[in-house]
Amino acid sequence: MKIPPVYFYVIALIGFFGLFSLLMLWHTVFVTTHKLPIALILLVTVTPLLLPLRGFLAQQKKSCAWMAYISLGYFLHGSAEAYVNQNNEMYAIIEVIFSLMLFFGSSLYIYFSGKQR
């Protein structure tokens, strides 16, 4: 059975947009008590996702690889946040799930799209 690579790309897109919207809502709507300005927090947390976005949306393999690498940082952050802060554990687990979707979707899209020829 041959799985088309576009299915893995859709999984990566769901992971990306889910992670992006979670990070935007987490620091602005869900948890509003911060010691730092919200704009600075959003700049630090969301900007790495936006760097390879243009190539990722164009399905370029190099940008998909970079998106997979970047998602590992969000996996680490979500895992540490789930362990340390029990108040935000649900958001952290969702961050881990979306980052894994982004990682595996991007990685498998690159793998299977290279084997099509």
Domain positions in the chain: 5-114
pTM to 2 decimals?
Answer: 0.91
pLDDT of residue 31: 81
pLDDT of residue 3: 84
Contact indicator for 101, 18 with CB cutoff of 8 Å = yes
Cβ neighbours of 97 (radius 10 Å): 16
Contact indicator for 19, 98 with CB cutoff of 8 Å = yes
Calpha distance 68→6 (Å, rounded): 16
Which is nearest to 61 in space by CA: 2, 102, 7, 9? 9
* pLDDT(112) > 80: yes
Q: CB within 8 A of 24, min separation 6: which ones?
A: 42, 46
* pLDDT(116) > 80: no
pLDDT digits (tens, 9 = 90+) for 46-71: 999 999 999 999 999 999 999 999 99
